[in-house]
Amino acid sequence: MESSTRRSFYSAAIAGLGGLMTAALAAPAAAYLLIRPKSQKQSDFVPAADLAQLTVGKPEEVVFRRTRVDGWRVLNEKSTAWVVRKDDQNVVAYAPQCTHLACAYHWEEKDAKFFCPCHNSVFAIDGNVVSGPAPRPLDRYVTKIDQGKVLISTEIQKA
């Protein structure tokens, strides 16, 4: 039988080396699973509508094509937004999903409100919740106006 100091050296070495190996495997695994992909694609502005075609106070559902990154795939796909012209130089573009459970909402002309048919959330034209279960105002796309065109970015701002 070995001496007890020798035994405890063995035990400590086994635990130490084992721990080192576990850590060396766990660290890259955690980084690999938890850190966001290094995205090489910045959010890109795409033209969605002509400012001249929008009437102040009347939301329009505009359809535009944008490039979206989905894991290893880059998709060029159709996308929509509810665009409201606020005045001469300002528009807001709402993402087309209700902030409750992401159903598609629409503009009710007669009530002048956005209405979500899933759980009856109602939003005002400024995006604020009027009634229903929606927890926050409508999400907005970052927009800018360039030479009379409304440009929409993929970046979403949550209220």
Partner 1 sequence: MKILRSVIDWLEERTGVESAIKHFLYEDVPASAGWHQVLGSVAMFAFLTQVFTGILLALNYAPTPGEAYNSLRYIVTELTGGQIIRGLHHWGASLMIIVVVLHMTQTFLWGAYKKPREATWMVGALLLLLTLAYGLTGYLLPWDNRAYWATTVTVHISALPPVAGPYVLRLLGSDGGSIGAVTFARFYAAHVLLLPPLTMLLIAIHLYLVRRHGVTPIEADRTLPKKKFYPQQVFKDTVATFAWFAILVAMAIAVRVPLGHVADPTDTSFIPRPEWYFLFLFQFVKFFDGPLEVVGAVIIPTLAMLVLFLVPFIDRGKVLRIRERTGAIAVIVFAIVGWSALTARAVATTPPSTEDPDAGLALVEPWQELPADQLAAIGAFRKDNCGNCHVVGKSGPGPDLTRAASQRPTDWLMQHFKQPAPGIATQLKNPELRGLVMFVTKRSDAALKAWSSAPQAAVEGAMVYQANQCAACHKLNGVGMQTGPPLNGVADHRNREWLEGHFADPQKFSPGSTMPAYKLSSRDLDRLTNYIMQIPK
Quick one: tokens of 135?
């927890």
Q: Mark the segment that binds partner 1 (CB under 8 A) among 27-35, 82-90, 107-115, 119-127.
A: 27-35
Residue 79 phi/psi, 5° resolution?
-145, 155
Residue 111: in which H helix or E strand, if any?
A: none
Residues 114, 74: Cα–Cα separation, whole Å: 32
Q: Does 3 bind partner 1 (CB under 8 A)?
A: no
Q: CA angle, corner 97, sides to 89 and 108, nearest 5? A: 70
Residue pointed to by tokens 């979500």: 116
Counting beta carbons within 10 angstroms of the beta carbon of residue 138, is it exposed (0 to 12), middle (13 to 18) or buried (19 or more)?
buried
Task: Determine which residue in the list 3, 5, 52, 75 makes contact with partner 1, applying CB under 8 A.
Answer: 75
Task: Determine which residue in the list 48, 66, 127, 129 makes contact with partner 1, applying CB under 8 A.
Answer: 66
Q: Give the nearest distance from C-beta 36 to partner 1 in angstroms.
A: 8
Q: Does 52 bind partner 1 (CB under 8 A)?
A: no
Task: Determine which residue in the list 38, 88, 109, 135 makes contact with partner 1, applying CB under 8 A.
Answer: 38
List contacts with partner 1 (CB under 8 A). Answer: 2, 7, 10-11, 13-14, 17-18, 20-21, 24-25, 27-29, 31-33, 35, 37-41, 44, 46, 65-67, 71-76, 146-147
